[in-house]
Chain A
Amino acid sequence: MSDSESLDEHRELISFRIADQEFCLDIMAVREIRGWAPATPLPHSPPYVRGVINLRGAVLPILDLKGRLGLGPCEPSARSVIIVVHIGSRLVGLLVDAVSEILAADQSAIQPTPNVGCDTVGRFVRGIIAQEGRMISWIALDDIMPSEQIADAA
């Protein structure tokens, strides 16, 4: 999979805003985009896990991407958007402020993530794309889910 990805010349990405930064995701990972609905909170979960919602019968966990990226907690409003993505075999909803556009980028336009000495950046930003004077961070989803709770932590 990753081999064929790296061979792809053109890549379509979906970009969105969190706080004042621009991020994007590979469009192939996105299943749908839907409006915000109140989530049922999950006990004993990290603060960026907003809870679960009903996605046509499936129980969908919602991650606050802003909180996950360490940009502070997000206050969901009616304008907030949930991007439903595939992560492995799971379906996960990512809460973002707003979706901006779909953009195409050549593989060559993707630059390696500059080292800013920040763990979170290294973990969740796969690369950056410079386009029309903007800088868009390409998010890596592999590590975005919280690690499994250890059952008998006590």
Chain B
Amino acid sequence: MDAMDAIKATYFQECDELLASLEEGLLALETGDADGDTINAVFRAVHSVKGGAGAFGFDQMVEFAHVFETSLDAMRSGQLDPDPDVLKLMLRASDVLADHVAAAKGEGAVDEARAHAMALELAALTEEPGQVSGEESDAGDTGEADDWGFAPLKVDLEDAPTPWRLVMRPTAEMYAKGHEALLFLRELGRLGPLTADIDTSALPDLELLNPEASYLTWNIELGADVPETAIRDVFDFVGDDCPIELRRAESDVGTCESDDLPVVEATASTLAALLEAAQGPAVEASATQADVKGGAALPKGEAKGSGVAASGATIRVDLERVDRLIDLVGELVINQAMLAQRVTESEAASSTVSLGLDELEQLTRQIQDSVMAIRAQPVKSVFQRMPRLVREIAATTGKQVRLIMEGEGTEVDKTVIERLSDPITHMLRNAIDHGLESPEEREEAGKQAEGTVRLAALHRSGRIIIEVSDDGKGINRPRVREIAVKKGLIGADAALSDDEIDNLIFLPGFSTASAVSNISGRGVGMDVVKRSIQSLGGRISISSQPGKGSVFTLSLPLTLAVLDGMVISASGQTLVAPLTAIIETLRPKPADVRPLGPNGAVLAVRDAHVPLIDIGVALGLRTHPIDPTTGVVLLVESEGLGRTALVADEIQGQRQVVIKSLEANYQRVVGIAAATILGDGRVALILDVEACVEKRRNERQAILARAS
């Protein structure tokens, strides 16, 4: 990665954060939780995105961000009222900006028509109120100066252009960030003929002088017929750090108010000489701190500070380093286990040695937990994408939706975070599309027209729980039952509890919407969601109250780096079965094993008969199944097939194993989820129970198909 790519990557990272704070700020404005800083933070977010985009030459993005920024600026200066309609538009504009960023990353394309329409809408916002404010100032209403110290601008279009009068007061922070007053003067000088007076009245005697403070003020007159924004753009990158006062010089007032100050004809070279003479200390200050990060870092920090409670000192670490550390600790755990096993085998273990080993084990566990905590991230990174999604679904379905998010700070391992997005997206789609009623239906039912969807995350007994609940109509149980019967998923006379009916929607091939909508019905049903959750060692369930709404509850392990497994053996191989997949283990009695068909066999478990699958055969380790009564049966539950009895030779025990990818150096293997390294240093494979069961079924179907 060359330097430019690295900078670009940092920029995109910052963009993500800026876009998040932009959206957060706009939502805060919408709900009325905003304070004075919120609008500034929002403005700066767009501004910083634009600044970076300009530097990298993302012209389309700059263009759009500029229009967006202009309207936000109008809002900031009080010319534009932040009413709900305006904010909704701005939220949609932030979505378009996010699209631009994604397109710049190469992760998608911008809908140009939409972006253009949005830009026009935004531009329309600022044009109209702009005229209004012009009229106001004509009427003599000068308004009050806002907190930026800007006097409202009086625009008189009939008169010949009068020069701009500008007072520039750089603060010490501006120099500290490596900005330079000279550059602004130079930049202004490009706009037109410039006269600059330096006001040194605040400059103390040398012994009192703080070399890092800023004492100088410039009074500038710019004889250029340029719009106000052209001048403000010059100071774009410093914002608060260099307050300016800008007004049109009154024609009847002299060109310079303080005649006793030296007047300098401003050309770049004389200005430079002047600056060097007058500004020595400040220049030094800026030079010593020249390595301070540029403008982009500031708005981000402030935007965060205003939106989130202070989260203590943090550092930003390259993820690869953390991953490497986690790998190493995983190896340490394995090595510790190997050492313990060898000491036990050598029978040399005195009590002191085994005591030391126990302590070592505790320490390694603690190190592992602490290291995993480093990689833990709040689910916020996933949650913050959801408001946009909800807005879009609400717009497509014509429903009014309010999204409430709770527990955004709940932490979970990064490996899990990455996998949360899809299921949450799907559950939210489902809640809005199928759960919530249309505004009319809601009013008929005596509810608010606006539906509420709640997305919450919490920790419970070492797992993370994600809840998606809505206050919609709940599951239509008779309809669900009817569909399930029609599709042959259940018998017509099956006696099912309410809960069981609710959970029918997770069956493959089930879809309650009579027409396939373009939101939920993308050919992906809840069964796929359930399967992907299960492949992560998670569970999903639903509970519903007719007329009151439904709750989807998703429970996942806190990490995908380790797994609780049952160590088993099959035809000489040691394998690990994920504990979450196993319902129970048993040693079958000969009377319970019943042959079915030429090769098949079933096991009677209480009243049910479940098919028996030999793990060794399923994995191709042997050709003939062992007698189930000599082995052990793991009863597993799998999707669409109900329960299956997997036959293993024996169970060695339960243990937590570190998950190692097979795909990193090899490729996906059917029937195997991943690998791990056991205490003896050998690789053991982790079973993909679902795939084992399914593969056997497919093979049988293939055999049957050939036979018929």
Contact = CB atoms under 8 A, between A and B. Distances in A.
Interface of A: 38-45, 51-54, 56-61, 90-92, 145-146, 148-149, 151-154
Given A42-B669, A44-B620, A44-B669, A59 B662 contact: yes
A86 B445 CA distance: 66
A43 B665 contact: no
A146 to B, nearest CB: 8
Nearest to B328: A57
Interface string B628-668: 00000000000000000000000000000000111011111
B341 to A, nearest CB: 14
Nearest to B678: A54
B677 interface: yes
A38 B330 CA distance: 22
B669 A149 contact: yes
B698 A154 contact: yes
Interface of B: 327-328, 330-331, 334, 573-574, 619-621, 660-662, 664-672, 675, 677, 681-685, 695, 698-699, 701-702
Given A52-B675, A53-B683, A151-B670, A58 B664 contact: yes
Contact of B670 (A44, A58, A91, A92): A44
A61 B675 CA distance: 11
A54 B665 contact: no
Main secondary structure of the interface of B (DSSP, over half): mixed
Contact of B683 (A44, A54, A149): A54
A149 B334 contact: no
A43 B671 contact: yes
Contact of B685 (A42, A90, A91): A42
Given A57-B327, A90-B664, A43 B675 contact: no
Contact of A58 (B660, B672, B681, B702): B660
B689 to A, nearest CB: 14
Contacts of B701: 154
Contacts of A151: 668, 670
Contact of B682 (A44, A54, A57, A91): A54
Nearest to B615: A43
A52 B666 contact: yes
A43 B660 contact: no
A54 B682 CA distance: 6
Contacts of A38: 682
A43 B621 contact: yes
A96 B661 CA distance: 25
Contact of A149 (B660, B667, B685): B667
Contacts of B621: 41, 43
A58 B573 CA distance: 19
A52 B619 CA distance: 15
Given A52-B683, A54-B677, A90-B664, A41 B669 contact: no
B672 A57 contact: no
26 contacts: A40-B682, A42-B669, A43-B620, A43-B669, A43-B671, A44-B620, A44-B670, A44-B671, A52-B662, A57-B660, A58-B660, A58-B665, A59-B660, A59-B662, A59-B664, A59-B666, A59-B677, A91-B665, A145-B666, A148-B668, A149-B668, A149-B669, A149-B670, A151-B670, A154-B699, A154-B701
Contact of B330 (A40, A57, A90, A92): A57
Contacts of A41: 573, 621
Counting from the closest, the 9 A-B pairs by CB-CB distance are A154-B698, A43-B619, A57-B331, A61-B666, A40-B683, A59-B675, A90-B665, A52-B683, A59-B660
Contact of A90 (B666, B669, B683): B666
A18 to B, nearest CB: 22
Contacts of B683: 39-40, 51-54, 59
Nearest to B675: A59
Main secondary structure of the interface of A (DSSP, over half): loop
A151 B662 CA distance: 15
B677 A45 contact: no
A41 B573 CA distance: 8
A16 B151 CA distance: 83
Contacts of B573: 40-41
Contacts of B677: 54, 57, 59
Nearest to B616: A43
Nearest to B677: A54
A153 B573 CA distance: 25
A43 B621 CA distance: 7
Given A59-B662, A59-B664, A92-B666, 20 more contacts: A40-B574, A42-B666, A44-B669, A44-B670, A45-B669, A52-B662, A53-B683, A54-B681, A54-B682, A57-B334, A59-B660, A59-B661, A59-B675, A90-B665, A90-B666, A91-B665, A149-B669, A154-B695, A154-B699, A154-B702
Nearest to B334: A57
A148 to B, nearest CB: 5
Contacts of B681: 54
A8 to B, nearest CB: 24
A55 B685 CA distance: 15
Contacts of B669: 42-45, 149
A87 to B, nearest CB: 9
Q: Which among A40, A57, A59, A61 has the highest number of chain B CB atoms within 10 Å?
A: A59
A54 B658 CA distance: 13
Nearest to A92: B665
A141 B691 CA distance: 31
A57 B660 CA distance: 8
B567 to A, nearest CB: 13
Given A58-B660, A154-B701, A154-B702, A40 B665 contact: no
A80 to B, nearest CB: 17
Contacts of A44: 619-620, 669-671
B287 to A, nearest CB: 43
A43 B672 contact: yes
Contact of B667 (A56, A60, A148): A148
Given A52-B683, A54-B682, A154-B702, A59 B665 contact: yes
Contacts of B698: 152, 154
